[in-house]
Amino acid sequence: MTRIGSQGYAAAYAYTGATSSQTGIAADQAKAAEVAKTTASSVSVTLSAQAQAALATTLDARSLDTVVADARKSLDALLSAAKATSALKDGKATIDVSGLDRRSLYAVASNQGGSFPIEEQVVASLQLKAGDDAALAAPAASLRVTGDYAGLYKAALTRHEAAGTEEKATLAWQNEKAALVEGLRQATAKPGTAPTGVANDPIPAWLKENGGVVSNPRSRDIDALVSDVRTALDRQYSLATGEGMATDADAGTIDFTRFDDRSLSAIALNKGGQFSEHEAKAAADEVRTRNRDGVSSTWKSAQQSGDSAAFGRTLVSQYVSMSDEEREAVGWTPALYDKMISLQTLSAKLSSMFGEDGTLKTGMSLLDYL
């Protein structure tokens, strides 16, 4: 999820009752303190993990420079403990950054201060995504059974609001917040119906990756996954044409809307020899379409955000997070990964040659960076 600034709604909560006299305010404060003192010993409130994280972020008064410095120290310690020189090796993480707080992860992922190489940015980005996945897993499971889209959007908003100051200042976070609010409104107004026509809504893409017809597609053994996908396809045919009447020839256009990317790739590659030529071709076409749309969307988002490094960073993150089946189906090879890393690193180095006004920094030359 991305993040929204407090403009627009903060004013509604600011200084309520500001016309009260100072004496009245003092009396109210004293009364509130007495109530808190009276109830503190008898009331125990347990906050959820998400609520605790949001509270910690709210109370984080560190400057951005301090956040960056702390993150740099933490990463250096992790790399040293792992005896690694890079956060990625052959497209896999060498360090576990789950211990970093949300604000620190965002600082690394967005390369605040230019202190973090592409490998560290990718690992941090994937950890932020893992936080999104964990927050949405339970409501997504409920959605599969009950059709409760509102619960999923509520969970997404809660996760969204736990962002730190820097995240909330971005246009992407603000746009996504507005989308989630609109999605929740639609889901509440029409229970059981997926929101539609919502610009910047992250939920449809998340569901396509994580919430399909197969449970836990990312972690399942490929043979078990193939069996589930075969069953799901046969069920789709039977519902469309009547029990016992479905054949692959009868299927025509297959609806892949609720198939996640790994399940789709298993069909396209005909894993286990379980799928017909028609099914494999249709799935391969869908894989190419999703890949093209995903790359296009990533490019547009990077252009809108004004972050020149976001496009390459997101593509590298996507490669690292893919299963072997997804990479094979879309044609993303280790050689392509190496090329993306080298180009992104070069782009970052070239960008660092210039100041905020776009002029070359004093005393710097292209050879200093190549």
CB 214 within 8 A of CB 263: yes
Lowest mean pLDDT among 76-85, 87-96, 125-134, 254-263: 254-263
> At residue 154, does pLDDT exceed 90?
yes
Helices (H), the chain: 22-40, 49-58, 64-82, 102-109, 118-146, 149-161, 165-168, 171-189, 203-210, 222-241, 248-251, 261-268, 277-305, 310-321, 324-330, 334-351
Six-digit token pair at 44? 């125990």
User: How confident is residue 212, by pLDDT bands cut at 50, 70 and 90?
Assistant: low
pLDDT of residue 301: 77
The more confidently predicted of residues 306 and 285 is 285
Mean pLDDT computed over 162-166: 95
Instruction: Give pTM, 2 decimals.
Output: 0.66
- What single letter denotes the amino acid at residue 248? D
Backbone angles phi, psi at 166, to 5 degrees: -65, -40
When pLDDT is cut at 50, 70 and 90, the band that residue 140 belongs to is confident
* Mean pLDDT value across residues 149-171: 95
Give the least confident one: 140-154, 303-317, 326-340. Answer: 303-317
Residue whose C-alpha is closest to residue 127's, from 87, 81, 156: 87
In this predicted structure, what is the pLDDT of residue 209? 77
The larger pLDDT score, comparing residue 4 to residue 319, is at: 319
Categorize the per-residue pLDDT at 240 as very low, low, confident or very high, splitting at 50, 70 and 90. confident
| SS3 state of residue 31 | helix
Pair 41, 86: CB distance under 8 Å: no
What pLDDT band is residue 210 in, cutting at 50, 70 and 90?
Answer: confident
The structure tokens listed for 48 are: 């959820």
Between 362 and 328, residue with greater pLDDT: 328
Tell me which amino acid residue 82 is.
A
Checking if the pLDDT of 68 tops 80, the result is yes
The predicted model gives 273-284 an average pLDDT of: 95
Higher pLDDT, 271 or 253: 271
Contact between residue 147 and residue 191 where contact means Cβ atoms under 8 Å apart: yes
**Which pLDDT score is estimated for 351?**
59
Give me the residues paired with residue 92 across strands.
89
pLDDT of 266 reads: 95
Reported confidence tier of residue 313, pLDDT bands at 50, 70, 90:
confident
Asked whether the CA dihedral 249, 251, 252, 257 is positive or negative, the reply is: negative
Looking at residue 238, its pLDDT comes to 82
Residue 66 CB: number of other CB atoms within 10 A? 11
Spatial separation of the C-alpha atoms in residues 294 and 332, rounded to whole Å: 14
* Whole-number pLDDT of residue 48: 55
11 against 253, higher pLDDT = 253
As a whole number of angstroms, the distance between CA 165 and CA 338 comes to: 33
Residue 228 to residues 251, 257, 264, Cα–Cα distance (Å): 18, 16, 12
DSSP 85: S
Question: Which among 8-12, 25-29, 66-70 has the top mean pLDDT?
Answer: 66-70
Work out the burial of residue 128: count CB atoms within 10 Å of its CB; fewer than 13 is exposed, 13-18 middle, 19 or more buried: buried
Quote the pLDDT of residue 214.
Answer: 72
